[in-house]
Amino acid sequence: LAAFALLVGLGGVGAGGWSLWQLQQLQQQDQQQRDQLQSARAESGKVGELIGQLERRLNQLPSADELDERRRLLANLQGDQQRLSQRLESVLDGSRQDWRLDEAEHLLRLATLRLSALQDVASAEALVLAADEILREQDDPAAFAAREQLSRSLEALRTTQRPDRVGLFLQLAALREQAASLNPLAPSFAGQGDVLADLAAEG
């Protein structure tokens, strides 16, 4: 009986130890589940915050009507900018054309001056050619008559005998030196009956 009682006691101790171990395991599992639940709640809170941020951003975005209005305004602005650029380009082109035409007129004035004052046919021809090139670049039908006249002027210049300007200048310089070396002569009057001679004699 004593041995049986000992065995029963040992069995009870073993059963109690087993029960205690199982209880500890259950407590550990329960703690793990609580930790996991707390972590899940924290993650859920973060997700909730992100959802809230997204909702606030979505609320800040313009509506479909506002987007359509902005697209319309943007299209209008782009159209206005394009029209303004075209007008500006037209004004600039007009200014450039006017400036080039003024340049052509100036070249023709220089050609006239060279030809009339200096008899410089070669320079006059070059200036007329430059003016004709400007008119050609304009590609303006109204300039056709002017270019036709320039063509006749160029032909006349090309067929004009070119004077020896250097030789003429040297001759003129020599004549000036020769004239400067001459002695002034007293005036003489031919014929006693000449009126000028009589007036001189009376003086």
101 and 157 co-located in one domain: yes
| 43 and 101 part of one domain | no
pLDDT in tens, 7-49: 445 455 555 556 666 777 787 888 888 888 888 788 877 877 8
* CATH code, domain with 145: 1.20.58
Where residue 81 falls among pLDDT bands split at 50, 70, 90? low
Q: Give the per-residue pLDDT at 42.
A: 81
Vertex 188 angle, CA 187 and 194, to 5° = 120
d(CA 122, CA 157) in angstroms, rounded, equals 8
Which position has the higher pLDDT, 84 or 122? Answer: 122
Q: Which of 102-116, 121-135, 162-176, 182-196 has the lowest mean pLDDT?
A: 182-196
Residue 169 belongs to a domain = no
Cβ-contact 104, 134 below 8 angstroms: yes
Average pLDDT over the chain, rounded to whole?
65
On whether residue 145 sits in a domain, the answer given is yes
Inside any domain, residue 21 = yes
Domain that holds residue 53: 13-57
Give a yes or no: residue 128 inside a domain. Answer: yes
Query: Has residue 101 been placed in a domain?
Result: yes
Residue 35 forms part of a structural domain = yes
Q: How far apart are the first and last CA of the chain?
A: 197
In this prediction, residues 64-86 reach a mean pLDDT of: 62
Two structure tokens written together for 123: 């320079």
Q: How many domains does the chain have?
A: 2
* 97 and 158 both lie in a single domain: yes
- Is residue 39 in some structural domain? yes
| pTM flag (> 0.75) | no
Give a yes or no: residue 146 inside a domain. yes
